[in-house]
Amino acid sequence: MSELLSLEEALARMLDRLQPLPTTTIAVDESLGRVLAEPIVAHVTMPPWDNSAMDGFAVQAADVVGATKRWPKTLRVVGESRAGHAPEVEVKAGEAVRILTGAMVPVGADAVVPVEETDALAGVADLPDAVTVHTPADRGANIRAAGSDLHQGDRLLEPGIRVSPAAVAVIVAAGHGAVRVHRRPRVAILATGDELVEAGAPLGPSQIHDSNAPAIAAQARLVGAEVRRLGIVRDTLSEVERRLAEGVAWADVVVASGGVSVGAHDVVKSAFERFGELDLWRVAIQPGKPLAFGRAVGPDGGHVLLFGLPGNPVSTFVTFELFVRPVLRCLSGDRDPLARDAVRARLASPMTKARDRRAFLRVVLEPDPGTPGGWLAVSAGGQGSHVLSALAAANGLAIIPEGVDGLPAGAAVDVWRLEGA
Ligand code: AMP
Ligand code: MG
């Protein structure tokens, strides 16, 4: 019950046997932030045909060899090609077709001369009878060749990647209107503590606002989870059990904050034990050592994961980042659930910590004036596990390993960038 686990060991136990959630098909327009369950294969070739990269004139390159401002070449304009309309004319020797960006290059043309390199007017203008070209053009100049972006059958995106705005564009361009993604994890959140009141409520004596549940909800949404709030629960076993039952009936993951220490009213651990197995208890990290993790059986017979995060707000935040986030990413089908955006930085000032634990200290990353391209990690304020103001000022977590009491100014550390900070 009272094992002291390394971070890696704790994570391995949490991620053990965890499978991505079932898949579902949704409109590409709704897919931002969702995780692909299938590779995206191009249905179409892009561009589908040679098209113009410029507004100008489609010509035969041979006709404009040696053209200059002084000795221009004049060509007969036989028609026009514009986007959305297949050209009805061909370009023969001595001829040109006015062409607009994205329009099909007419048969016979092998180069496009930009309008700025001719005597024609840019912008809205009648089709001229002739055009005078001031510059030579290489074959293929200003032509975007068919297939120069992608070919039908190309594998563009792999399963397990999260759909970005750019991915939305390429999925649609490749011919898809819908994509297969994993179901979003459902996260039920409860806050325990007799001292807690809802956001915005006036504070009575010995009361504080429940900031943990809203923060957990925000962190869960940032990794794409669907959130349900189970509210604030008093520190009694029966009440925690009752709300936990509600969560287990709906969620893939239940996250409780507070009540996991060894205090006289810390009932979360006992409530978890009534629902299922309690897997671990203490992890060698700072902040956030007291932590409960368990598995309950959901209504469909599958596992519901239970997290009891420590109540100190910074501990809650950090333990979510360390444990709940990778679990949610794994359930989402993310192919790399532990990946973090990290940089190497130098500490701007000495930082201290508990020797036996790995510390995740709140820092602001700033460009290092001493090292071009380098980063400086500046303490974001008080490092106590209750100091929300410093957490909110931080944009990174500096990691100081086990085995030292701290590090001096100038020491190199890994810093995780905080998403959304
Ligand atoms: P606990 O883990 O329940 O012993 O709580 C540890 C500290 O965190 C205490 O100071 C609590 O008042 C505070 N705390 C617990 N839950 C919350 C919460 N939901 N929001 C803000 N602070 C909390
Ligand atoms: Mg409490």
Write down the pLDDT at residue 213.
98
Q: What residue type is 45 in one-letter code?
A: T
Tell me the CA–centroid distance for residue 193 and ligand 2, in Å.
4
Distances (CA, A) of 35 to 13, 131, 184: 23, 52, 9
Write down the pLDDT at residue 421.
84
Distance CA 102, CA 143 (A): 9
Our answer on whether the CB atom of 259 is closer than 6 Å to any ligand 1 atom is yes
Asked if residues 59 and 160 have their Cβ atoms less than 8 Å apart, the reply is no
Distance CA 291, CA 311 (A): 10
Write down the pLDDT at residue 2.
55
Our answer on whether the CB atom of 212 is closer than 6 Å to any ligand 1 atom is yes
DSSP assignment of 138-168 equals -TTTTEE-TTSSB-TT-EEE-TTPBPPHHHH
DSSP assignment of 269-333 equals HHHHHHHEEEEEEEESEES--EEEEEEEE-TTS-EEEEEEE-SSHHHHHHHIIIIIHHHHHHHHT
Atom nearest to 260 CA in ligand 1: 2
Write down the pLDDT at residue 264.
77
Distance CA 59, CA 98 (A): 9
Tell me the CA–centroid distance for residue 196 and ligand 2, in Å.
9
pLDDT by position in tens, the chain (length 421): 456 789 999 999 999 989 999 999 999 999 999 999 999 999 999 999 999 999 999 999 999 999 999 999 999 999 999 999 999 999 999 999 999 999 999 999 999 999 999 999 888 889 999 999 999 999 999 999 999 999 999 999 999 999 999 999 999 999 999 999 999 999 999 999 999 999 999 999 999 999 999 999 999 999 999 999 999 999 999 999 999 999 999 999 999 999 988 777 789 989 999 988 887 678 999 998 788 999 999 999 999 999 999 999 999 999 999 999 999 999 999 999 999 999 999 999 999 999 999 999 999 999 999 899 999 999 999 999 999 999 999 999 999 999 999 999 999 999 999 998 8
Our answer on whether the CB atom of 258 is closer than 6 Å to any ligand 1 atom is yes
Write down the pLDDT at residue 280.
64
Our answer on whether the CB atom of 261 is closer than 6 Å to any ligand 1 atom is yes
Distance CA 61, CA 111 (A): 6
Atom nearest to 235 CA in ligand 1: 3
Ligand nearest to the CA of 311: 1
Asked if residues 285 and 356 have their Cβ atoms less than 8 Å apart, the reply is no
Atom nearest to 192 CA in ligand 1: 16
295 strand-pairing partners:
277, 305
Distance CA 316, CA 88 (A): 67
Distance CA 213, CA 241 (A): 17
Write down the pLDDT at residue 1.
43
| Total Cβ atoms within 10 A of residue 31 | 22
Tell me the backbone φ, ψ of residue 136, rounded to 5 degrees: -75, 165
pTM for this predicted structure: 0.93
SS3 label, residue 242: helix
Distance CA 388, CA 64 (A): 69
